[in-house]
Amino acid sequence: MEHLINQNVKNIAISGIRAFFNIVSNYDDVVSLTIGQPDFPTPSHIKEAAKQAIDDNFTTYTHNAGLIDVREAACQFVHKKYHLSYDPGSEVIVTIGASQAIDIALRTILEPGTEVMLPGPVYPGYEPIIQLCGAIPVYVDTTKNKFKLTADLIKQNITEKTRCIILPYPSNPTGVTFTAEELIEIADAVRGKDIFILADEIYSELTYDAPHTSIASFLREQTIVVNGLSKSHSMTGWRIGFLFAPKDITKHMLKVHQYNVSCASSISQKAAYNALTEGFHDGQIMKKEYEKRLEYVYGRLVAMGFEVVKPSGAFYLFPSIQSFGQSSFDFALELVEKAGVAVVPGSAFSKFGEGFIRISYAYSTKELEKALDRLEHFVQLKRK
């Protein structure tokens, strides 16, 4: 019966991140720096809120868009943090993680044959959804611009079919983000055009050089903002994300969301309310530790001779391995086999990621030290 499967589904592949992670699982004594999973536990006060919700038998469906107090708290959170103003009654949806938010946003705005502009390299979760919609992913090479999709690059690549531009920042896999000035230039480049901006801001609480700025501050009417609690509050498994957009867009995304999942978990929403209110500053505590790790890992990589753009957010580095003359997959596989260190081949992040590897520093300092000692020894042997 496989011949009857939707061809768009047949054409998509498992994430390169997960594919390599699965390969690594077959090796012993491997220090893995592959997954973007915070190593902090979910804060205790958030877990207690969820336990209380269970004890109170709060196990029913909620409003499709989510509990109104959660939506109010989410709107207050982004207003206080990023100066964004959204109506909790009509301009925010509580989703099952940022991934589902991306899915329903793209399924709402895309049609077959329309184009979506993506910065390359980029997180691999966008392209399959674009393809499932019958739309066309258009990658723009950012490797010569310190991994930034600039206003000039956008202007050069806009066509009459461009329906959406995805701006994921801070970026997975590079860790780079935008300044307010750069976002204003991008906003001016697309203002008034029939083009949506999908701003994936899931790492917005993890910026190091300056507070996060959202492009929705400058182009609200064309922007759909994706955010959530996975990275900011170490709540990946709780699966709570948010979609913010003008009501004329949100009302249509809500229809897709309704038929897709009905609503986010009631228990997770109770935890989310606590995270957004009592845990308003939780992300800052984690960020301080990530910043220490960044300085350590970046310093070690530079000392080893790697060319690497210093990140300004998230918890990834994306060093070049081009001097070794290997594909990123071959380099990463050899690193596992000979040194017992797992990273993600850059090719997992589009063809523009080839020649790089992604290192996650969302791991303990002890694990990072062990991995980097092994990497250093491996590099020294390869350069002899």
pLDDT in tens, 258-290: 999 999 999 999 999 999 999 999 999 999 999
Q: Give the pLDDT mean for 193-218.
A: 98
Confidence at 171, pLDDT banded by 50, 70, 90: very high
For residue 210, count CB atoms less than 10 angstroms from its CB and return exposed for 0-12, middle for 13-18, buried for 19 or more.
Answer: exposed
pLDDT in tens, 296-351: 999 999 999 999 999 999 999 999 999 999 999 999 999 999 999 999 999 999 99
197 backbone dihedrals φ, ψ, rounded to 5°: -105, 125
Residues 269/239, Cβ–Cβ less than 8 Å: no
Q: pTM surpassing 0.85? A: yes
Q: Would the pLDDT of 18 be above 80?
A: no
The domain locations on the chain are: 2-42+282-383, 44-277
**2-42+282-383: in CATH 3.20.20.140:** no
* Distance, CA of 70 to CA of 65 (rounded, Å): 10
Q: Would the pLDDT of 163 be above 90?
A: yes
Task: Give me the DSSP letters along 162-174.
Answer: EEEEEEESS-TTT
Q: What is the pLDDT of residue 16?
A: 78
Confidence at 146, pLDDT banded by 50, 70, 90: very high
Structure tokens at 223: 């922007």
Q: Would the pLDDT of 125 be above 80?
A: yes
Residue 140: which of 117, 158, 124 has the closest Cα? 117
Q: Would the pLDDT of 380 be above 90?
A: yes
Q: Which of 24-28, 75-79, 93-97 has the lowest mean pLDDT?
A: 24-28
* Distance, CA of 183 to CA of 216 (rounded, Å): 9
**44-277: in CATH 3.40.640.10:** yes
Same fold? 2-42+282-383, 44-277: no
317 backbone dihedrals φ, ψ, rounded to 5°: -125, 155
Q: Strand ranges (DSSP E) for 229-272?
A: 241-244
* Distance, CA of 122 to CA of 196 (rounded, Å): 18
Q: What is the pLDDT of residue 384?
A: 78
